[in-house]
Amino acid sequence: MWAKKVTIETSATKEQIWNLYSDVENWNKWDNTIKYSKLYGEFKAGNKGILKSSNGPKSNFELVLVSKFHKFTSRSSLPFTKIDFIHEINEKNGKLFITHEIQIKGLLTFLFSKIIGEKLLKELPKTMQTLSKEATKN
């Protein structure tokens, strides 16, 4: 397994962050690696969607975990491999932190961590700062 995570402090509230997380069709407003995204149904575990990355093909995803105001995980399938995008909101000592993690698991982890994982990891801090700024506008 290949896993990398980034945590930042935010001045937004957990409700403001969650509103952006659960608004799947507008993920591209805070994540520049996404051209468009759509969820079929409500923002709850088991529901599926599709997204088009800015530099890649369309891919299907499934919400495998949704815990309101705390955490959600979306999973996409690659050949012989799964990629999970874990988004977490945590409070500590009166401050709010958001953590985004990328996990790649499966037979071709070594390949997809280089082709996809490293590129996504490079964009993660910028994506999270944009998320934080967008959240405080609402």
Q: Is residue 16 within a helix (H) or strand (E), and if so which, with residue range?
A: helix 14-21
CATH number of 2-137: 3.30.530.20
Among left, alpha and beta (phi > 0; psi -120 to 50; other), residue 80 is left
What does the pLDDT read at residue 80?
96
Is residue 35's pLDDT more than 90?
yes
Judged by DSSP in three states, 59 sits in strand
Distance of alpha carbon 87 from its chain centroid, rounded? 5
Is residue 36's pLDDT more than 70?
yes
Which pLDDT tens digit goes with each residue over 42-68? 999 999 999 999 888 899 999 999 999
Query: Alpha carbon of 105 to those of 1, 79, 98: distances in Å?
Result: 5, 11, 23
Domain spans of the chain, in order of start:
2-137
